[in-house]
Chains A and B, each alone.
Chain A
Amino acid sequence: MEKDIITQLQSLRTIKPKESWRLAQKEILLRQISSAAQEIGARRYFWFYLKEVIQHEAALIGQPIVGVAVLILLMVGGGVFSISAASGATPGSFLYTVKLVSEKTRFALAINSEDKARLNVKFAERRAEEIKGLADKDAHIILNEVADDLKEEIFSAQEQLKQVEVNNPGTAVDLAKDIENKTTVLRQKLQETKEVLAKSGSSANSKINEAIRSVDEAGLSALGTIVKSAGKNNTVNKKELSQRVASKLNITKRKITEVQEDVNKVFSAGFSRSESGLQIYQAPNNVTDIETKKKAEAKTKEASKIIIEAEQLLDDNNYQEAVNKITASEQILNEAAQAVVQKIIEQSDETISSTTPQVKGAIDQLGDGEESAESASTTIGN
């Protein structure tokens, strides 16, 4: 009987304030207090906690374990100043490691998934800035590593958002909006870097493409969260929702065009200038290449067809299905893009394995016309 009554009492734990009130009230409260609120820097925290320890735990400092704790606090405090110095460090420098460690520490100390996701996005933005700097300096090996770090941060943000969606759906929409907005800016920045790298014909471009794909995936996932939430309550208005979905749809359409162009370029004979000199694209002269090209073309066509369906769904205000279609289109498009990347890797391997005189000879044979490209590539292949 007693156990039963306790179980019944425990069921009252589900009593909660209304979600709409919770959000509105939080906003009102934060607005009310903001005039007196202050921005707190790391240094101020350090001195504050040191003061607190001395004030309240002075008698304990004599004890060994507390002494060690205070020592650690002082070391961490020292760390605060080092971190502040490291905040502007660039990849490859010693202080950059300090910067990464401080980021990991901040992430580990973050209170909840929402904070962790926001930190992930913030760190991804830093990585994008660093990538831009590295592209200008032609430091492409380090650039690849930083691009991998960016992908990890974005993936983690995506995972944290999923957790927030489950544990705290009320805040998930705001977080999803923030992630969606920031991934759009992030994509733009990476796209600019990609263009800089394309001019120099760098192989690092494929890494940037991978990073852009991760960013797009996270943005699309965040949009999915926004749309799902809009279906349940009215936290997002229709106009905003429509704009967000349309923007994602346009990005996918642009990507389809880009991949179509890449397929035509990479699987056709031709040549272009790159950082390693004149590069020769081999024509699809074997069965495997022809098959791969056909498959890639079929996939871009399929992605294109799905995106048209998404457009129609968007016109009918069926946002959820439109987002599902965009996601499906992106997935198919990624398979086509993967085939292009694979081919580029094969071509660069072949170019490296060819000896310089053979390439030179091939270039001599090429002349100006495209007709001779096929015979030129055969010479290289031999």
Chain B
Amino acid sequence: MLKSGSLQEKILVGRLKLKDKEAFSHLYDFYLDKIYRFIYFKVTSVSEAEDLTSQTFLKIWQLALEGKIKVNESFQSLLYKVARNLVIDYYRSSNREKNKISLEEATHIAEADAHLDQAADVKIEMEIIGRRLKKLKSEYQEIIILHFINELTIKEIANILEKKRGNIRVTLHRALKALRDAQ
């Protein structure tokens, strides 16, 4: 199993730099869910989340063609930065209202094989927390998604958001408090 920052990933990024389609395909498979989730909570519909996710990977390929991908730098950070910028551009260009994604869409979840009642409970819980997360301001939202949902470390988040680690810790603490207070 591929891991972020591992030697295997570096080899794949090296191959991507050499315009290797297969390496691109592996990196796409590995990061697709994470990037999709990251964008998902920031846009208004599933189709927009899908569209921006595709654009993120296409942008990565363009960067590879332009020789702007560096093997010794975190590929994961680059991906999130590209995704983040695309979301910002998306709001700038269209003046859209943020986070109006419907709950029906928000709970488009890969169904577990668990018992139906149990699955329904989980779905309701997820709807509630998803709704609360969407009420948070963008800064809090992305830090929570990155740390608690996409499992990135404080160091990795600091690298993506280009902030100091201490700053990230404080923001994360505030974001959690805001999430608890959100109704």
Q: Does A276 contact B (CB under 8 A)?
A: no
Closest to B1 in A: A112
Q: Does B140 contact A (CB under 8 A)?
A: no
Cβ A38 vs Cβ B18 within 8 A: yes
In the complex, are the beta carbons of A25 and B14 less than 8 A apart? no
Please encode chain B, from 17 to 59, with 1 for each CB lying within 8 Å of some chain A CB and 0 for all others: 1111100111011001100110010000000011001100110
Is B36 a contact partner of A52 (Cβ separation < 8 A)?
Answer: no
Q: Is A137 an interface residue (CB 8 A)?
A: no
Q: How many residues on A have C-beta within 8 angstroms of the other chain's C-beta atoms?
A: 41
Among A9, A28, A38, the residue within 8 A (CB) of B129 is A9
Give chain B interface residues in 1-26, CB to chain A under 8 Å.
1-2, 8, 11-12, 14-15, 17-21, 24-26
Q: At the interface with chain A, which of B75-83, B89-97, B104-112, B159-167?
A: B104-112
- In contact, B12 and A111 (Cβ under 8 angstroms): yes
A13 touches B21 (CB 8 A): no
| Closest chain A CB from B103 CB (angstroms) | 12
Q: Are B109 and A44 neighbours in the complex by a CB distance under 8 Å?
A: no
Q: Provided the pairs A1-B180, A21-B50, A26-B25 are in contact, do residues A12 and B149 lie with their beta carbons within 8 angstroms?
A: yes
Of residues 82 through 135 on chain B, the ones whose CB sits less than 8 Å from some CB of chain A are 106, 108-110, 112, 122, 125-126, 128-130, 133
Kindly list chain A residues whose C-beta atoms are within 8 Å of the C-beta of B168.
none
- Please judge, given known A-B contacts A29-B58, A32-B58, whether A15 and B37 are in contact too, CB under 8 Å: yes
What separation, in Å, do the CA atoms of A49 and B149 have in the docked complex?
34
Residue A65 CB within 8 A of the other chain: no
Considering the chains assembled together, what is the distance between the CA atoms of A30 and B25 in angstroms? 7
Does A36 have its Cβ within 8 Å of any Cβ on chain B? yes
A38 touches B20 (CB 8 A): yes
Chain A residues whose C-beta falls within 8 Å of the C-beta of B128 in the assembled complex: 8
Min CB distance B28 to A, Å, is: 6
**A37→B19 contact, CB < 8 A:** yes
B158 within 8 A of A: no
Q: How far is A327 from B165 in the complex, measured between Cα atoms in Å?
A: 58
Q: Which residues of A contact B54 (CB under 8 A)?
A: 25, 28-29
Contact call A17/B72, Cβ cutoff below 8 A: no
User: Are B109 and A16 in contact (CB-based, < 8 A)?
Assistant: yes
Q: Are A34 and B21 in contact (CB under 8 A)?
A: yes
Interface residues in B152-183 by Cβ distance below 8 A to A read 176, 179-180
Shortest distance from the beta carbon of A30 to any chain B beta carbon, whole Å: 6
Neighbouring A residues of B106 by C-beta, 8 Å = 15
Residues on the B chain within 8 Å of A28, using CB: 54
Q: Which of A167-193 contact B (CB under 8 A)?
A: 168, 171
A37 to B15, CA, bound (A): 11
B83 to chain A, nearest CB (A): 14
Say yes or no: A33 contacts B126, CB within 8 Å. no
Question: In this complex, what residue of B is CB-closest to A19?
Answer: B110
Q: CA of A133 to CA of B168 in the docked complex: distance in angstroms?
A: 64
Question: Does chain A have a CB within 8 A of B65?
Answer: yes
Interface presence of A352 (CB below 8 A):
no
| Any B CB within 8 A of the CB of A11 | yes
A367 to B102, CA, bound (A): 91
Contact between B129 and A52, CB atoms less than 8 A apart: no
Q: Residues of A contacting B17 with CB < 8 Å?
A: 48
Q: Are B20 and A12 in contact (CB under 8 A)?
A: no
* A44 B18 Cβ-Cβ under 8 A: yes
User: Quick check: B126 and A11 within 8 Å, CB to CB?
Assistant: yes
Contact B18 A48 (CB under 8 A): yes
Residues of A within 8 A of B29 (CB): 26, 112, 168, 171
How many angstroms between the C-alpha atoms of A171 and B36 in the bound complex?
A: 18
Chain B proximity of A1: nearest CB distance (Å)? 7
CB distance from A17 to the nearest CB of B (A): 5
Chain A residues with CB below 8 A from B19, complex form: 36-38
B24 to chain A: closest residue by CB: A33
Known A-B contacts A2-B176, A14-B112, A16-B109; the reply to A33 vs B32 at CB < 8 A is no
In the complex, residue of chain B having the shortest beta-carbon distance to the beta carbon of A52: B71
| A22 with B32: CB separation less than 8 A | yes
**A8 to B110, alpha carbons, bound, how many Å?**
16
The docked-state distance in angstroms from the alpha carbon of A168 to that of B2 is: 13
24 A-B pairs within 8 Å (CB atoms) are namely A2-B176, A5-B129, A8-B128, A9-B133, A9-B149, A11-B122, A11-B126, A11-B129, A13-B37, A13-B151, A14-B110, A14-B126, A15-B109, A17-B36, A26-B28, A26-B29, A30-B25, A36-B19, A37-B20, A38-B19, A40-B15, A112-B1, A112-B2, A112-B26
**Given contacts A15-B110, A45-B18, A52-B72, could you give 20 more A-B pairs where the C-beta distance is less than 8 Å?**
A5-B176, A8-B126, A9-B149, A12-B129, A12-B130, A12-B149, A13-B150, A17-B33, A17-B49, A18-B108, A25-B53, A29-B24, A29-B57, A36-B61, A40-B15, A44-B18, A109-B8, A111-B26, A112-B1, A112-B2
Residues of B near any A CB (own CB < 8 A): 1-2, 8, 11-12, 14-15, 17-21, 24-26, 28-29, 32-33, 36-37, 40, 49-50, 53-54, 57-58, 61, 65, 71-72, 106, 108-110, 112, 122, 125-126, 128-130, 133, 144, 148-151, 176, 179-180
Ranked nearest first, the 8 interchain pairs of A and B with the lowest CB-CB distance are A37-B21, A9-B148, A8-B129, A56-B72, A38-B19, A16-B110, A17-B36, A33-B61
